[in-house]
Chain A
């Protein structure tokens, strides 16, 4: 699934580890989501969107990467 995670993270100057700690997952999980190798569950997608103060649709576009 396409997403803007890497861009949003870069805008805030966060490393993958920083975002991982904030949403309570491993750094590998953040990397897998960013590169489209893992589609997050709905609850994790909500957590990610909330961390950026955005809606899920603003982070994930629902199309396959």
Chain B
């Protein structure tokens, strides 16, 4: 352990601390997204190729992915400031409302024969897009408004 007398490093300025904090958060996101991207490609190749996954490795892999996504998001939300948490909550709220509306309207329309049967993946993608747009909108409003 270093005693205060032997520690010759000057204290970091606020700007340095902010830079370090930004770099750490950016680094974790880059690593997480890279692992997710490469893992997704590997999973797709294994699943669609000559090495179809049996149930045990398949579920283990899914559990690993789900655990990783939850862990990274908890880590992120505990390290960012309250403004970022608020923006994330608002965007998530808009996403949930959009998800409910899109799914409910599509199911109602399909039941009456006005639309094809609901596609889960399309509803999911629409939810992700709306959530992302809401988040960008909040950021832009703060920056421009």
Contacts and interface: CB of A to CB of B under 8 A. Distances in A.
Interface string A6-27: 0000000011011111101111
Contact of A21 (B16, B80, B86, B142): B16
Contacts of A15: 15
Nearest to B82: A41
Q: Is the interface of A mostly helix, strand, loop or mixed?
A: helix
Interface size class of B (residues with CB under 8 A): 10 to 19
Contacts of A24: 17, 21, 81
A22 B49 CA distance: 53
B18 interface: yes
B81 A21 contact: no
A17 B14 contact: yes
Given A21-B21, A24-B81, A37 B15 contact: no
Interface in A22-59: 22, 24-29, 32, 37-38, 40-41, 44
Contact of A37 (B17, B21, B80, B142): B142
Interface of A: 14-15, 17-22, 24-29, 32, 37-38, 40-41, 44
Interface of B: 12-19, 21, 80-84, 86, 142-143, 145
Given A18-B18, A24-B21, 10 more contacts: A17-B18, A20-B14, A21-B17, A21-B19, A25-B81, A26-B80, A26-B83, A32-B83, A37-B142, A38-B86
